[in-house]
Chain A
Amino acid sequence: MKKLFALLLALLLLVGCSNGGGSNNEGGEQPSGNEAVTNQIIYGSTTELNGDLGNAWWGNNASDATVRELIDDYSVITTDQGGELVENQSVTTGVTSVENEDGTKTFTVGIKDGLKYNNGEPITAADYVAYALVAYSPALKEAGGKVTANSVKGALEYQNGEVNYISGIRLLDDHTYSITINKDDPTDPDTHFLPYYFDATYASLSPLYLPMYASAALTVKDDGEGVYLDGGSLVASELDASRTIYEGRVSAGPYQLESLDLGSLTATLTINPNYAGNFEGQKPSVEKILIVKAVQETMMDQLETGAIDFLSALTDGSEVQRALDMEDTGNFKTVHYERNGYGAIFFQCDFGPTQFPEVRHAVAYLLDRNEFANTFCQGFGSVVDGPYGLAMWMYKDSKDTLASTLNSYTYSVESAVEELKAGGWTLNADGTDYVDGSGLVRYKEVTPEEAGDYAYNVTLADGRVLMPLHIEWSSSEGNSVSELLAVMLANGDQTKEAGMEINQNIMSFADLLNYYYRDSSVDPKYGVKTYGMYNLATNFTALYDQSYSYTVDPELLAMGYNTFFSVDNPLLDQLSMDMVYGVEAGDDKAYLDTWVAFIQEWNRYLPAVPLYSNVYYDAMNAKINNLECNSLFDFQKAVVYATVD
């Protein structure tokens, strides 16, 4: 028995010692066993790699996207540190556009000479055009890729297999291509593509190395009708297989893929020696980037022990505090920035009490949002008064206007009561006058249209219909925001004092979404208007486009395009559409003016009550310098500026 114990102990110690067990690494050291390379960053991602490098045509796993964006760059149009669209000066000699007589718009793009893939082969305009020919191909559709072809002239016919060329894309010479955008959607003339504030994105293509996507020796040709592939055709299975080519993957970004191991969930990237630079001409200096799995529960330990060097966007208060404590040792650094998004109470504005703006306002007044944000974000968050992020250029440029015109709905039971009284919530269940402070639920006399089929309505003997101030709230299980909301709002004394009742219904997230989208295709019960209030969170993309999100079109509503169901507010719909489709590209002032008007109307109508916007913290090893990410400029973009001591 003793021998057995001794043998096992010896085995463990032997294995441990053979890999440097017992060494007492300090924060900045590499983990034992990780040899030689010091000019590297180990990026810890809480999202596991799926290994899909297929241009986001199939899926968009966050870690896969990180790898893709590090190895594939050179798109003609990109976004800068502030989220604004810019031409990529490293790849293009210029982008010009002309409006055609038929309302279409043609962009002509010049590609710089001397660009190369990581394998040394040259990149020409044909490689950019090849991207479109693959993306819009019927074979890609067959392989399960999801690319919309409607905006590019002739691309839909090509995608449907009606023709073998794209008439709207022309290969003008080795270094120039053009792309023509439809004015209207060919499948729906009521839907327009132009004018579009972000129309420069239509001109943007990226180089695609054809031999990696097809076994046939394909070349891009243009005989005058449009571009096409000569020498064979694309095959769905080959396109599908291209997603998981890891060895010798040809790419054109700051880094190249050295290996991707799905067993250990690790991607290893090294500098691409042929990279010409990002949109500012910046080239990377960090030799190697390793993307590894960070375990949520122990990632701070991983950082402290040197198993990872960089953690992105920490929000949990205890993790942020630990990162700050670690920073005090001098072995680590932090960078913080505002989230480009928020958590909020989302209302459905077409039935029950939440159809009335006064009720939505009252809910906002009854919640101490500053206290909520402070408690939930444990000191690392802030509050916004509309659907915007504090890092947006639009916010920065209109900060004073917004500060003076937006209602911040500061916590006040009196204001809530005033709103409710003004909205007609002045009755008891029996139709008598409501007495403030009685603790009873308020009622309001409503019209048959307002009453709808809300389950809690009361019909009096004289035929009047009263609606109680009773809100059904849907919240997902195990959600800390819901728990805090229940304490600070639904079960709060101030809510009862104001005469409001909020009933929390805890359900699975899938169930919540079905009710939220009123998805009766899953089950007819979801099509019934049941919950007036949901707590969810959302992020904004760098290009702020809210079109169709506030549509009042019944058909689009049925398709789930306006989950606020703000059907009584065509102005919000108009502004959200005009902001992007009513403004010519480059007219920043018109865009900003519409944006401000949209935010103001949103704030007045209040289809949602913003609760918190986190402050994100990036935590990193002190050996890393100049790695300045923000919510519009992530690690994969910022890392080209970074250095390692």
Chain B
Amino acid sequence: MEQWLSSVIDPYYQQVLMLVGIYIIAALGLNLITGLCGQLTFGHAAFLSIGAYTAAILTRDFHLPFILSLVLGGLMAALFGILLGIPVLRLTGDYLGIATLGFGEIVRVAFTNMKITGGAIGLAAIPRASNLINVTFFVILAVAAVVLLENSRFGRALKAIREDEIAAEAMGINAMWYKIQAFGIGCFLAGISGGFYAHLLQYLNPNDFGFLKSFEILNFVVLGGLGSIPGTIVGTTVLTLAPEFLRFVQEYRMMIYGLLLVLMMIFRPHGLLGGVNFRRLLRRRKQKATALSS
């Protein structure tokens, strides 16, 4: 199967596509926390790294099967997410953002100083177990899960908390508990994403998971449109591919990338697909068509 794939898709493009998929999984998690539930977090990369290191150590040193390590890495990230969430989710808005930013840095420094993670040298010789098939499979699984979640009773409660936490509590929603759950699920997805990342690049360094990475993932979600699942997917794809397709401009690459972000925020401040309700859009199209014909 894999051999057949590499005969159809160039290995370089395979790698890029896998990265897109891996970031989509992480961004979907962040979209759940920030987009749907409205909790600002700047430490998403930390959970990516927790999942990445956990899964990598499990496959490399303990020879556990890849998928099992991946799920355990996700659970480890979720566990840390919940442990962090219990104290910090009492905070709101920017305060929560700063607290999660701080946590992200703590994790990075901890991984730099731990023996089992290889410290500052990093963790090398991780088996290459990520391939386009298992990444795609998990992307589909993650998309299906978040779509189901969003349209459930649970998802509605998260939206209500985003809109107005006090009113949500007045409706009988245990806001704190729901926020912790959302945070846990979001971190689980980050952990899964990290596991794939580790088994794609085969090398981990704590510095790859600093706050810049957290902001990069936040960028994906904001550019696509906070709270929109299709937006998150499109945003991640565009922003992951852009630096690759901009390689021809060489050193101006990141400048153009930055310019793209600035222009985006000016012309579509709610993101590419933010505030777009597909069902309503279709209805409006129909109305326009009938109005024109009559």
Whether both chains belong to one complex is answered with no
